[in-house]
């Protein structure tokens, strides 16, 4: 049995869950190096939508790291989630430039409109509100990432209008910049 396959069995998932394949691919690409932890956790979150405990145990075993270390990294970075995410996720940047631009008003307005606290998902599983540290595109502050697009110079009303539109089945179109493009600003 491969090292990865053995780990899956150890992690107690039955060894057959296809979502582990994406994690295994990254583990192999990085040759099981411990400094690849963030990349591996990112792949795990992509595969599962969040980081279940058994997946973190699996990653810890594969990289021969203590579980507490993996857990610490997963909880330090706000882009990792330990809870299932909603179908749509709005991430509000609360880094300094965005905070000065009143990003906290956007968080409060969304929180009130959808009765959801930051870090939580609406009971119907449709929407998650998340906050994060600086996203590296401060020139666009206040910044919101929604539907994998970076929205700059946001306002509480404008962001809520976009969320309403998407939750009603619409899309953001091409008005906003894709995440990678905006990060380069």
Binding interface with ligand FES (CB under 6 A): 93, 95-98, 134-138, 141, 143
- Separation of alpha carbons 152 and 145, rounded Å: 9
> Do 151 and 161 touch, CB atoms closer than 8 A?
no
CB of 67 to ligand FES, least distance (A): 32
Nearest residue (CB) to ligand FES, 125 versus 136: 136
Among 60, 10, 15, smallest CA distance to 40 is for 60
Nearest residue (CB) to ligand FES, 13 versus 89: 89
**Residue 90 bridge partners (DSSP):** 129, 146
Nearest residue (CB) to ligand FES, 6 versus 96: 96
Radius of gyration of the chain, Cα coordinates, nearest whole angstrom: 18
CB of 140 to ligand FES, least distance (A): 7
CB-count burial class (<10 Å; 0-12, 13-18, 19+) for 50: middle
Token pair 């540290």 in the structure block, residue: 133
Nearest residue (CB) to ligand FES, 100 versus 165: 100
Q: What is the dihedral of CA 146, 95, 75, 83, to 10 degrees?
A: -30
CB of 34 to ligand FES, least distance (A): 29
Estimate to the nearest angstrom the gap between the alpha carbon of 88 and the chain centroid: 11
Nearest residue (CB) to ligand FES, 44 versus 145: 145
Nearest residue (CB) to ligand FES, 96 versus 148: 96
CB of 68 to ligand FES, least distance (A): 30
CB of 180 to ligand FES, least distance (A): 14
CB of 79 to ligand FES, least distance (A): 13
Angle, alpha carbons 167-169-171 (nearest 5°): 90
Name the residue number minimizing CB distance to ligand FES: 95
């Amino acid at each position: 049995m491969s090292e990865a396959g053995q780990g899956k069995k150890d992690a107690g998932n039955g060894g057959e869950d296809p979502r582990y394949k994406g994690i295994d691919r990254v583990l192999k690409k990085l040759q099981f190096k411990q400094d690849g932890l963030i990349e591996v956790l990112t792949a795990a979150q992509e595969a599962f939508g969040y980081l279940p405990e058994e997946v973190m145990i699996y990653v810890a075993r594969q990289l021969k790291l203590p579980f507490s270390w993996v857990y610490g990294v997963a909880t330090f970075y706000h882009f990792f989630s330990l809870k299932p995410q909603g179908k749509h996720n709005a991430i509000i940047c609360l880094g300094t430039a965005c905070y000065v631009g009143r990003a906290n008003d956007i968080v409060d307005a969304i929180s009130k409109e959808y009765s959801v606290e930051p870090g939580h998902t609406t009971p119907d599983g449709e929407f998650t509100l998340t906050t994060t540290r600086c996203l590296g595109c401060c020139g666009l502050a206040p910044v919101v990432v929604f539907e994998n697009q970076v929205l700059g110079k946001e306002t509480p009303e404008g962001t809520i209008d976009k969320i309403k539109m998407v939750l009603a089945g619409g899309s953001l179109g091409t008005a906003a910049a894709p995440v990678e493009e905006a990060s380069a600003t």
